[in-house]
Structure 1
């Protein structure tokens, strides 16, 4: 997600009339705030994955094909910096919102189901709650100035058949349940990849 948010800063000026420094500054502030929220979500996701992996997944084949089971795979999310920079502004915003909408239900269910996991750490549960909070804040931040693309995004999600099936998290089989949590944490990291975090600094955006 941060790939899209951070590199979007390179294209911000085209959203404002020429010479409108107030508009440009406002947009840069918005994307800077969005980038910080995204980084926060990513850091919590990594922490949850590492803790779960250490506590529940040692010597177990949960990692096999984990990335192939992400519910957002059919979105074909762009990852390459060059690809992202060639997109127009609305295109980038659509990708960001598609990711946010796709993760609404999984994040809420994660918080609910983690409470019943045996010996789950307080840190993991706290991080899950924090991700729900930050994702809602990020969604509201992006939706306000770009409300005109919301209906298009939701239509694309319906057409792409991006649905969340959370039944494995409810399994009475502990191994299956742990495997489902492992995949969810793994996918959360992939969709919050921060490999382009240096985008602002390297290109002199901030």
Structure 2
């Protein structure tokens, strides 16, 4: 399957879904989702697979069992390539356009402890340089962050803002860049995922062998 870009219909689909997130709408437009969203996303991921690995395409259905929000469908199509548990590269299509990211989005207590230990050690020098460089070039630092210092660390720690992270990601939004609609998106995503690879590798090193 050859990736040729995402059609305008893909973004229109999610714009309409935001307005009418119902089974009636989904059933009436499922073929648009299959043809304009799912099929090209799978093709894009297949072209990236030789370098980054097999991707997981997230289901379009929301888990509403424990949520007050009972809308049945996600308003974006996400995909993820794992390098380690909850750690890897990400791509997403929505009404807002296309975006990419990477890092770790979750961690067990033991993994988070190891990551924080590394942030509190000389190993953080490499991480600091990487994050600074990428933020200056347009990447956005994200993740779940504690409001106060984690237990065992002083509020005036020089890297307290990083230590507060329960997850840590870097993201970049392409919006509706012309490349999104062409086969050239594959190279663009690959280039940006390569920029994120040092972050992914850094996290993988810290959590290696930890359950």
TM-score by length of 2: 0.26
Which fold has the larger relative contact order, with Cα–Cα distance below 8 Å and residues 6 or more apart in sequence? 1
Q: Which has the larger helix fraction?
A: 1
Q: Which has the larger strand fraction?
A: 2
Give the structure with higher Rg (CA). Answer: 2
TM-score by length of 1: 0.26
